Amino acid sequence: MKKILVLNGPNLNLLGTREPAVYGRETLVDVERLCRDEGARLGVEVECRQSNHEGDLVDWIQEAGDKAAGIVINPGAYSHTSIAIHDAIRAIAPLPVAEVHLSNIHAREPFRHVSMVAPVAVGMICGFGPLGYTLALQALAARL
């Protein structure tokens, strides 16, 4: 069975504990369960990982180049700053990467309007909360 890696970046381990008005009430455990359930429905294996460290995300993106059919990534605040994550995604091309954000980054502070990941992603979904992860999984599964 083909595998899709779902990666979450810094502070997303805090989901459901603070800032519910921005990020909702669902925890990371809830979001990861939603992703695995959607994977089962789509007939793909979903493996979920979260890290607060940029290098972990870079290592996992590189690994996925050998063992996964695609990546769904919410790079958190690294979306706006990380040339390292941009380069790692470029390095595994043409493996498809879908970028997800829970919040609508374009309706927030100007520093969130730019994503370093968007130019190397096949697409980006933002503003739909956890549903965005399921939409991204559907989009990747449709390409397999």
Is residue 133 within the footprint of ligand CA2 (CB under 6 A)? no
The catalytic residue among 23, 78, 86, 133 is: 23
Q: Is 18 helix (H, G, I), strand (E, B) or coil?
A: coil
Q: Which region among 30-38, 61-69, 84-92, 99-107 touches ligand CA2 (by CB under 6 A)?
A: 99-107
CA dist 110 and 8 (Å) reads 22
**Closest Cα to residue 4, out of 46, 33, 58?**
46
Is residue 37 within the footprint of ligand CA2 (CB under 6 A)? no
Binding residues with ligand CA2: total (CB under 6 A): 16
CA dist 125 and 22 (Å) reads 16
The catalytic residue among 78, 86, 101, 133 is: 101
Is residue 114 within the footprint of ligand CA2 (CB under 6 A)? no
Q: Which region among 29-37, 42-50, 83-91, 101-109 touches ligand CA2 (by CB under 6 A)?
A: 101-109
DSSP 24-56: -S--HHHHHHHHHHHHHHHT-EEEEEE-S-HHH
DSSP 50-118: E-S-HHHHHHHHHHHHHH-SEEEEE-GGGGGT-HHHHHHHHHTTTS-EEEEESS-GGGS-GGGS--SSG
Is residue 101 within the footprint of ligand CA2 (CB under 6 A)? yes
Cβ of residue 43: shortest distance to ligand CA2, in angstroms?
26
Is residue 77 within the footprint of ligand CA2 (CB under 6 A)? yes
Per CB under 6 A, residues contacting ligand CA2 are: 11-12, 14-15, 18-19, 23, 74, 76-77, 79, 101-103, 105, 112
Which residue numbers are catalytic? 23, 101
